[in-house]
Amino acid sequence: MVQFYYVYVLQSEKDHQLYTGLTIDLKTRFEEHNNGEVSQTQNRRPMKLIYYEACLNQQDAIKRERYLKTTWGKRYIKSRLEGYLKV
């Protein structure tokens, strides 16, 4: 079975800020965020999953996560989700 590594972006419904992370189990990790089990998003719940990418290689996923956390990466996400984020 192929192992996927997911890079994901969540948006807080409370303050509308974005959070970028990496996991091998997207569904479980999303539930952990919304159950308050992740300290970085605990006070910003509820969270919405607004974007994710799947990578076949862990190093590629780590590299992508780091990029999406940069200024250029944040611009990419805002451009990619322009229609959604304007609503």
What does the pLDDT look like over 56-67, one tens digit per residue? 999 999 999 999
- Which amino acid would we find at residue 45? R
**Would the pLDDT of 86 be above 90?**
no
pLDDT at 87: 65
58: left (phi over 0), alpha (psi -120 to 50) or beta: alpha
pLDDT at 59: 98
Alpha-carbon distance 3 to 78, whole Å? Answer: 28
What does the pLDDT look like over 13-22, one tens digit per residue? 999 999 999 9
Q: Where are the domains of the chain?
A: 5-86
Q: Which fold has domain 5-86?
A: GIY-YIG endonuclease (3.40.1440)
What does the pLDDT look like over 10-50, one tens digit per residue? 999 999 999 999 999 999 999 999 999 999 999 999 999 99
